[in-house]
Structures are given as C-alpha cells and as structure tokens.
A and B are shown apart, each in its own frame.
Chain A
Amino acid sequence: MWLDPRNPQLNKNGELNHLLSIEGLPADVLRQILDAAESFVGVTQREVKKVPLLRGKSVFNIFFENSTRTRTTFEIAAKRLSADVINLAIAQSSTSKGESMLDTVANLAAMQADMFVVRHAASGAPYLIAKHVGQDIHVINAGDGRHQHPTQGLLDMYTIRHYKKDFTNLRVAIIGDILHSRVARSQIHALTTLGCPEIRVIGPRTLIPADIRSLGVQVYHDLKEGLKDVDVVSTLRLQNERMKGALLASGQEFYKYYGITDDKLALAKPDAIVLHPGPMNRGVEIDSSVADGGQSVILPQVNFGIAIRMAVMSIVAGSWRG
C-alpha cells in the first residue's frame, strides 16, 4: 500500500487511516479523536455498553510483546464496537518457530482481517506492517519499542482535558524513566501539538535522553524544583524489564530522589492531578498515599482509555480507502 512518507497515517483526504504515532498528527485530528471519545464515555456508562459501528469486522490483536492490560483494553474497546476480536500472543507462537513478522501478518490478512492492533518490542514494526498490508486493513500501534504508544498518549490528553479543560495555560511535568518510555514521547508530541506551553521532564541523568531538549521540553534533575507550580504530574513506570546495564542503583534509590510522595506533590499547584499509565510500582515511582489520594486520576484514566481506543478504531475503520 502507498503511504505518504511525510505522514503515513493519513490518507489522501487527510483522514486518519492508521494510528502509528502521535508525531505528525495535526491538532484537528487529535481533537477529533478526543471529541469522539467523549461520546464513547457515555456509551460505557449505559445499560448496554455496545454500539454497532464495527459489526461484522474482525480485529486482530497481534502482540509480539506481552501486555495483558493494553491487550485487554483494546479487546474491550473492539467488543463494545461490536467487532469480533481475535487475540494472538505471537511471543509464544509462530515467530518462535522461525516465521517472519511480515509472513505472520500476511497470513492473518488472508483470514480477512479488517484491523491489526500491534504491540512489538521493535520501534517501527507497526509502520512496517502498515506498509505491507492491503489498503482495506487498518493498523493501530499498541506500543512499539521505545518509540510510541499513541493510544496511551491520547488517553492521557483526554484525562488532562477532562480535568483541566484547556491545554494552553498548563504546566505539565513528566517524571521518571524518560529514556525507555514510549509513553513520554507520545505525551510530549501530543501536548506540544495541542498547545501546551510548558513541558518539563524530570529524572536522573542516566534516564533522560541527551537530545530530549530538541522536542521543546525543559529538563530537570531535581524533582522538587521541577514540580514547583505544575498543573499536571505525569509519573512513568520504572521499566525494569528494559533496563540494560547499571543505569540505576536500585528501586529504593530511585524512590528517594524521584518517587512522588505527598510532601513532594505539595510543591505542585493545589489542584494538580496525578497520572500514571500503569502498572504501578508502588514505593518506587509513586507512594501509595499519592496513588490512592484525592489528586490521583489513575483509575479514571483506565475508563477513558477504553473510550479513546473505541474512538481511534471507529475513526480509522470509517476513513476513506482510496
């Protein structure tokens, strides 16, 4: 399939055809997704939590890397749109027998798939798949390596907009393991596009990429300084499974300097909200009293995440295939 190298996610009409990355999506497309999600939140609160938009469509969750939570939210979203969902944990399947990723995908496409939700440890894998599938198949990135996790970034934007209404006067802090975090990258691109004037990244030198300033963010290594007067505190999971080499002395050491506690949160604005993409390491990046406290919006994030995934799936499925 032909993909515009400048923006492989949009079709010739500028409509969202695949969701691969937040980078490169114009503000009106981001707002379209957030607005649609708002209507889907209403659906999830009804007696019948289902609408018939994707009736008869087959959505394949292809997870080359395990993630029960993300897979489950995509599965719930697809089912609430009335699609048929097929879950494939490829990590334990064909590729371990030596089949290439593209062969696996070609086989699934031959089973009349309409949509692939892809999680892969390699950055760019969903893009490669989008390039090779037929024009009637849509691809959604559910996390690729250190690159992007666009639906997580979008649900964070939804959460922020829900509580703060507007991005143009916000100060947002993203804290922790920026180096390995595709969530941080997606958040930064989304916040910038939606007009957020001040984005801070806070973390130890070893976990902040050297070139991060080129994205227009301010870098802090002192948590207390970085949290001062922020409206949004976005904590990241310390990704033990991605740590190679001695980037960090220990979880306790990290908690001492970068863990969000009530004392440190008090430095932010009194009405600041606290986000976390889950799963949480309590006592490492966040203290339980913050995670369960009045400023935490971590559980609403989960519900918004389903609505965001419903919005993305129905927008790409309905995009013009020319």
Chain B
Amino acid sequence: MNRAALQQLPQAEQLLARLLDQMKPVVGPDTGIIGIHTGGVWIAQRLHAALNIQVPLGTVDVSFYRDDFEAKGLHRDIKTSDIPFDVEDRRLILVDDVLYTGRTIRAAMNVLFDYGRPASIKLAALVDRGGRELPVAADFLGGTISLAVSQSVALTRGHDNDGEHLSFVLHEN
C-alpha cells in the first residue's frame, strides 16, 4: 500500500454514518435487513442495531450463485446464507460494502428470490467504485471512490477503545 493511495481512501465510519442518515427516514420496524458476506454483514449488523429494527438480521453468501463458477470453481470459504424471517411480501434492504460490477448484487437477488417473493428490494452500499457491468444502482450510498482497474478496496473490522471500528484497505492486484 502506498502513501498516496492511503490518503485517497475514505473513512468507512463516516460513510456508515451517512448511510444511516439516508436510511433512517425510510426504514420501518418490519423492514428486513440482509447483509452480503463478509463486509456487507458487518455493515448490516451496525445498521440493524442503530435503526432499531425488530426483524432479525439476515445474511447471504452468493457462492452458489456466482456467474464465474465456470472459471473460478467453488469458493474455498463459503459462509452460510441465513434468512431467519419470511421474505414473502416484505420490504428488504440488501447491504454490501463495495459496489463494483453489480454481479454480486445480481447473485444476491437470485438468492433472495429462492426464499420467496419480496415486496421490494433496495440496495445500500458503503462505497461505490463505479465500473458497473449490470444495470444495478444503490438506493442508499455512503460515498464514492475512484480506483484503477488493478486496484481493489476491502473492508476490515477492528476493535479499539470505543468499540468496533470499520476501515478500508487498498490492494494492488
């Protein structure tokens, strides 16, 4: 990681606060919040707690629905999809950390439809890095970032004296 790159990375906690402000007015106690593994789940946990939502938190892993299975095979580290509420006719918010090609979101929506027919799905993303390959857009967005194609950004979770702390790390591929 170089110094210049470090400076251009946004503060994940600030973006999370912005996301929360956007979501507060529209989220009700019956809304289903679903995080996409792994970074999306961390954000979804924070949003779920802060928004005081009664419905338990859902999580999805898109490994079984990826469109690059032919090329890459099955992921080594598969998490379990767990949606502990009925999605039928429910308003859902799908949460991811970094919005990029849109392929993960496509796969996650397919997962959700295998559980039932939701009333609506909205997308919350912590950061949008552009580069979309599918017609996908965030309804709630913490911020944007511009990166070279060779770069990627990932969320990490640490703990300090104030509790949990989310931050971005840059990877040069």
Which residues of A come within 8 Å of B, CB atoms?
15, 32, 35-36, 38-40, 42-43, 46-48, 50-53, 314-315, 317-320
Residue in chain B with minimal CB distance to A315: B74
- B17 contacts A by Cβ under 8 Å: no
Task: Looking at the assembled complex, report how far the CB atom of B165 sits from the nearest CB atom of chain A, in whole angstroms.
Answer: 29
Residue in chain A with minimal CB distance to B72: A318
Task: Looking at the assembled complex, report how far the CB atom of B111 sits from the nearest CB atom of chain A, in whole angstroms.
Answer: 8
Task: Looking at the assembled complex, report how far the CB atom of B3 sits from the nearest CB atom of chain A, in whole angstroms.
Answer: 36
Q: Is the CB of A51 within 8 A of B73?
A: no
Q: Is the CB of A39 within 8 A of B110?
A: no
Task: Looking at the assembled complex, report how far the CB atom of B30 sits from the nearest CB atom of chain A, in whole angstroms.
Answer: 20
Q: How far is the CA of A47 from the CA of B113 in the complex (A)?
A: 10
Which residues of B come within 8 Å of A, CB atoms?
61, 63-65, 69-70, 72-74, 76-82, 110, 113-116
Residue in chain A with minimal CB distance to B116: A47
Contacts of A314 in B (CB 8 A): 64, 69, 74
Residue in chain B with minimal CB distance to A57: B70
Q: Is the CB of B73 within 8 A of A319?
A: yes
Contacts of A53 in B (CB 8 A): 64, 69, 74
Q: Is the CB of A39 within 8 A of B81?
A: yes
Residue in chain B with minimal CB distance to A15: B73
Q: How far is the CA of A174 from the CA of B173 in the complex (A)?
A: 50
Q: How far is the CA of A319 from the CA of B73 in the complex (A)?
A: 6
Contacts of A36 in B (CB 8 A): 74, 78
Q: Is the CB of B64 within 8 A of A43?
A: yes
Contacts of B81 in A (CB 8 A): 39, 42-43
One of B65, B72, B77, B80 near A52 (C-beta < 8 A): B65
Q: Is the CB of A51 within 8 A of B115?
A: no
Known: A39-B63, A39-B81, A42-B80. A48 touches B74 (CB 8 A): no
